[in-house]
């Protein structure tokens, strides 16, 4: 794929797998959507390293034990999602995307625990639920 950039995202669950950590993105045109914390891999970085770094940048949480669960196509290639463990006693805080640090518009607008049931149309949530079904989680 031309212009391919591997991407990694974190599926961080709590409440018996009923809630997932999501970040809200707002585009300059006002379009908004929620997705799992994640982003593009840097040069010479494994996807496991990418997902831990992106989770920290976007939510302040220290992730561990990334386990690959699925891949989805996205505009610049393939996005790989990992189940990631975090300390349940630490609250997430909204971070920033370093690539936008000096921009007028910050895409990251919020971070929150979301019931999976409220985001069934989200492609990441759909793929995660399918994974759980197939692996009897």
pLDDT in tens, 70-118: 999 998 899 999 999 999 899 999 998 777 777 777 789 999 999 999 9
* Buried b or exposed e, range 66-93, using 16+ CB within 10 angstroms: beebbbeebeebebbbbbbebeeeeebe
pLDDT band at 1 (very low <50, low <70, confident <90, very high): very low
**100: its two tokens:** 């936008």
Reported as a pLDDT band with limits 50, 70 and 90, residue 67 is very high
> What pTM was computed for the model?
0.91
Mean local confidence (pLDDT), 116-128? 95
């Amino acid at each position: 794929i031309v212009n391919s950039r591997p991407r990694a995202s974190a599926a961080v669950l709590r409440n018996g797998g009923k809630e997932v950590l999501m970040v809200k993105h707002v585009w300059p045109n006002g379009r908004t959507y929620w997705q799992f914390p994640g982003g593009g891999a840097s040069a010479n970085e494994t996807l496991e390293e990418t997902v831990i770094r992106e989770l920290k940048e976007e939510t302040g949480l220290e992730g561990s034990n990334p386990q690959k669960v699925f891949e989805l196509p996205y505009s610049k290639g393939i996005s790989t999602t990992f189940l990631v463990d975090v300390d349940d006693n630490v609250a997430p805080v909204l971070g920033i995307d370093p690539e936008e640090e000096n921009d007028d518009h910050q895409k990251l607008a919020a971070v929150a625990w979301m019931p999976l049931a409220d985001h069934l149309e989200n492609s990441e949530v759909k793929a995660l639920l399918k994974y759980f079904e197939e692996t009897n989680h």
